[in-house]
Structure formats: structure tokens, C-alpha cells
């Protein structure tokens, strides 16, 4: 039996291009941040993101040590400083909002709409008006997120941003290769964030990139990413910089991964279609699909679904009876222990029971992201919500969808879900 402990793990190209480029880095002694592989990988990425169905773009790409670093530098590029406010989608991973706090700024969380699970434009405009009334200033940036690869309502978001003179930072970390109206996510706003973490559509083992609108913006970001050094024969700094550039070794992996990016995207879409077919008659389980609108083209980085509250799952009465001692979800690093198995905002008992049951079948079914405005660290942050993302968190779960997941694997996973649901 295969072990689906990782939901979505990128894998190496069959031709082994990654090893070739990494070997070149070692052979030429370019085992440092920056280098030929970094330059080539940035060009590969630029070529990819600039392809558009009705013409070409001319965006520049800067490779960085992480997608979180890309968010951080994008906010700096937007002029965010201590005391400013930034509008961030609440339904997301913490890397979308933590960089706001790195700068001494304040995240203002915006809730989701039902179709895409992403930032609700109506709530966004409401938040902008209310923040202006309460603080006398407009927020400095808007950060919509391509949750699980799903495109956000970028036309409406950009229209609102332009109306109030606010810059947009697209967090497309989960949306590598997702498109809206044929245009790659991350190329609509002032900046676009990509991630190459080990579980993303392609990987550099760890790393990210920032899509910039022009060469001047890219050069400024690159300056900040290399310690913000001024042009003197000694080290002089007129601003605080960061050690955020990608290594030449990691970029070598990325160059190889670019050769399989399109096939990875096609595979994820295929897995989504297969789940849709196999789950269509499973009562109480609903696969999350993109809107029935030709403008939306999700990469389906993760396939997600919801479980109706009335569905009974094996042993659900014992859900949350024991404190979890290890982090849910792969190699998550060090975690703090907790005293209670429950919080004031958590998945329903049947969703937790499904997670436990599937784990016993060697299948990892994770909860969806817990909304950031419900995280203890952000308990005092302003939030504008209609409750949609909180409700989805209670009933939502993620299914394995990586490049290594076969058709037979999907059938096995769905069979296990059917077994878990008590008739």
C-alpha cells in the first residue's frame, strides 16, 4: 500500500535536468546565492509568466529564498512602513500576513466569497471605506490569495484598488500556472508572489520569486534582497536590506523543474476531474470546483472538498478527545505543545474523524486553512467578514493531488472516504 502522507509533493523530471544543473553549480564552484542558474531560472520564469493568450507581457522575475520573502519585499516595494495598514485575505496561510507585521504595519483581514473561497470584493471595498473613516488614511496595499490555486476575482479587485489608489500584491504562491482570462496569476498587480516550497507545483526544495512589472521595480527588489548595498568600494547601506536571494544550487533544481511544470499542471487538473467523477454520487461530500466561467483556469494545486455537517463518520464521537502531540502535515518542524484538544474555531467532529480514519488508511486528508482572523496571534486585528471562510473551515478538507498520485490512487482514496462514511 502506498503512503499518501504528503498531499502534494513535487517530483523531479524524468530526464534528470535538476541533477545536471546542480552538478554544474558544484563543478563551477557557484555554491552561493546568485549565479548562472539563478539568472537562467529567472528568465525561464519570465518566459512562462509573460505568455498570454492575446499577446505577450514584459514582466521581470526576481528569485528569492522563499515565497514569504517575496511577500515581504513586495510590501516594501509598495512603500509599506510601520503604522500602515495592509488589507489581506483572511482565508490563507500565515505567510500572507506575517510579513506585514515584520514591517511594523497592521494586517486588516478581509473575508471570502463562496464561489472561489477568495477575497470578497464587496467586503474589500467596505473595509477600505471603513479604514479611511476610522484612521483618516487608506491602507497601503491589498493582498488577495489564490487559495489552493483558485484564481481570485482580480478584475473587481483591481478596479477597486485603482479607485482608491491602493497597490495590489498578488499572493499566487499556491497558484503557479493558474490563469485568469488566459493571463498567469501574479501578472495583474504591482507584484506577484510565487513559491517553490517542496509541496508546490514545482520546487527548488525551498524558495520563491517575485514577479515585477518592469526592470526598475525588479532592480529595486534585487537591491533590497542583497543587503541594500550602495555603490562604494566598501559596504555602505542607506537602507535596511535582507539576505533573500535564491542560491545557485536551488535555482539549478528550479531550472530542471521548469521542464515538467506544464505536465504537473495538466496532471493536477486531471486528478481534479477524476475526483469530481468519483465523488459525484457520494452523499454529503462536495468537491470544490472553479466557477462555471471560462475566465477561470485553476491549477488545482490541491483538490478540496466539503463534508456536510449531518454526515456521520466512523468514530466521530471520539473526535478531539486526545491532544495532538505532533504537527498535522508532513515535516512541519518544531511545534509548541498545547493543553487542550479543542479551540473556539475548528473543523466539525465528522471532518476531524475523517482525517483520523484516512490517516489509518495511509492517506493524509488535511483541514483547510484556518482563517487568520481566528488565529490567536491576530486576535486584535481588524476584520471584515460575512462568515463564509469560517464556515468553510468547519466543513472543508484537502485531498492528495500531487504528481505522484495515480488514477488508481484516487480510486483508492475515494473508496476509503466511502468506507469512512456510515450509511
What architecture is domain 17-260? 3-Layer(aba) Sandwich (3.40)
> In degrees, to the nearest 5, what angle opens at C-alpha 373 toward C-alphas 370 and 374?
55
Report d(CA 396, CA 403) in Å as an integer.
22
Starting at the edge strand that comes first in sequence, how are the strands of the sheet with 366-367 ordered? 285-287, 303-307, 396-399, 366-367
Mean pLDDT calculated for residue range 323-342: 73
Q: What pLDDT score does 326 carry?
A: 66
Q: What pLDDT score does 164 carry?
A: 98
pTM to 2 decimals?
A: 0.94
Mean pLDDT calculated for residue range 323-352: 81
Q: Are 300 and 271 in contact (CB under 8 A)?
A: yes
Domain locations in the chain as residue ranges: 17-260, 262-420
Q: What pLDDT score does 35 carry?
A: 87
Query: Poorest-confidence range of 105-114, 149-158, 184-193, 200-209?
Result: 200-209
pLDDT tens for each residue of 193-218: 999 998 899 999 889 999 999 999 99
pLDDT tens for each residue of 216-250: 999 999 999 999 999 999 999 999 999 999 999 99
Q: What pLDDT score does 14 carry?
A: 65
Q: What pLDDT score does 349 carry?
A: 97
Mean pLDDT calculated for residue range 375-385: 98
Query: Poorest-confidence range of 49-53, 73-77, 109-113, 257-261?
Result: 49-53
pLDDT tops 80 at residue 126: yes
Q: Are 39 and 47 in contact (CB under 8 A)?
A: no
Q: How confident is the model at residue 179 (pLDDT cuts 50, 70, 90)?
A: very high
**Average pLDDT of the chain?**
93
Task: Name the β-bridge partners of 155.
Answer: none
Q: How confident is the model at residue 8 (pLDDT cuts 50, 70, 90)?
A: low
pLDDT tops 70 at residue 255: yes
Provide DSSP, 329-348.
SSS-------S-S--SS---
DSSP category for residue 308 = -
Query: Poorest-confidence range of 25-29, 99-103, 172-176?
Result: 25-29
Q: Residue 383's closest CA among 196, 191, 120, 95? A: 120
Report the CATH number of the 262-420 domain. Answer: 3.90.1150.10
Provide DSSP, 351-380.
HHHHHHHHHHTTB--EEPPPPGGGSGGGTT
Q: What pLDDT score does 331 carry?
A: 53
Task: Name the β-bridge partners of 192.
Answer: 170, 211
For the stretch 175-195, what's the b/e string if a residue is b when 16 or more beta carbons lie within 10 angstroms of its beta carbon?
A: bbbbbbbebbbbbbbbbbbbb
State the pairing for strand pair 191-195/296-297: unpaired
Amino acid at each position: 500500500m502506498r503512503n499518501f502522507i504528503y498531499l502534494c509533493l513535487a517530483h523531479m523530471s524524468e530526464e534528470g535536468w535538476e541533477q545536471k544543473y546542480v552538478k554544474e553549480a558544484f563543478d563551477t564552484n557557484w555554491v552561493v546565492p546568485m549565479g548562472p542558474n539563478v539568472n537562467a531560472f529567472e528568465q525561464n520564469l519570465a518566459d512562462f509568466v509573460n505568455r498570454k493568450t492575446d499577446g505577450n507581457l514584459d514582466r521581470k522575475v526576481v528569485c528569492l529564498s522563499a515565497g514569504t520573502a517575496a511577500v515581504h519585499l513586495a510590501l516594501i516595494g509598495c512603500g509599506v512602513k510601520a503604522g500602515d495598514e495592509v488589507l489581506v485575505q483572511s482565508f490563507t496561510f500565515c505567510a500572507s500576513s506575517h510579513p506585514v507585521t515584520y514591517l511594523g504595519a497592521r494586517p486588516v483581514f478581509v473575508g471570502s466569497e463562496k464561489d472561489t473561497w477568495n477575497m470578497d470584493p464587496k467586503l474589500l471595498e467596505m473595509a477600505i471605506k471603513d479604514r479611511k473613516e476610522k484612521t483618516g488614511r487608506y491602507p497601503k496595499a491589498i493582498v488577495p490569495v489564490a487559495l489552493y490555486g483558485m484564481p481570485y476575482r482580480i478584475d473587481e479587485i483591481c478596479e477597486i484598488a485603482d479607485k482608491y489608489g491602493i497597490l495590489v500584491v498578488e499572493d499566487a504562491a499556491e497558484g503557479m500556472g493558474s490563469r485568469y482570462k488566459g493571463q498567469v496569476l501574479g501578472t495583474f498587480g504591482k507584484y506577484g508572489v510565487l513559491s517553490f516550497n517542496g509541496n508546490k507545483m514545482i520546487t527548488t526544495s525551498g524558495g520563491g520569486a517575485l514577479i515585477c512589472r518592469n526592470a526598475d521595480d525588479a532592480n529595486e527588489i534585487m537591491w533590497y534582497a542583497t543587503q541594500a548595498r550602495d555603490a562604494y568600494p566598501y559596504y555602505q547601506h542607506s537602507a535596511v536590506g535582507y539576505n533573500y536571494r535564491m542560491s545557485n544550487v536551488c535555482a539549478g533544481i528550479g531550472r530542471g523543474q521548469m521542464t515538467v511544470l506544464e505536465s504537473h499542471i495538466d496532471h493536477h487538473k486531471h486528478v481534479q476531474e477524476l475526483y469530481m467523477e468519483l465523488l459525484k454520487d457520494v452523499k454529503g461530500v462536495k468537491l470544490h470546483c472553479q466557477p462555471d466561467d471560462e475566465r477561470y483556469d485553476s491549477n488545482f494545486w490541491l483538490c478540496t472538498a466539503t463534508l456536510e455537517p449531518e454526515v456521520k463518520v466512523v468514530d466521530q464521537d471520539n473526535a478531539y478527545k486526545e491532544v495532538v502531540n505532533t504537527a498535522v502535515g508532513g515535516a512541519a518542524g518544531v511545534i509548541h505543545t498545547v493543553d487542550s484538544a479543542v479551540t473556539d474555531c475548528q473543523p466539525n467532529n465528522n471532518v476531524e474523524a475523517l482525517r483520523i480514519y484516512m490517516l489509518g488508511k495511509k492517506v493524509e486528508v488535511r483541514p483547510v486553512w484556518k482563517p487568520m482572523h481566528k488565529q490567536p496571534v491576530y486576535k486584535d486585528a481588524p476584520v471584515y467578514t460575512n462568515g463564509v471562510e469560517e464556515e468553510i473551515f468547519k466543513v472543508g478538507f484537502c485531498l492528495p493531488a500531487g504528481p505522484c498520485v495515480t488514477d488508481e490512487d484516487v480510486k483508492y482514496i475515494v473508496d476509503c472516504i466511502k468506507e469512512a462514511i456510515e450509511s
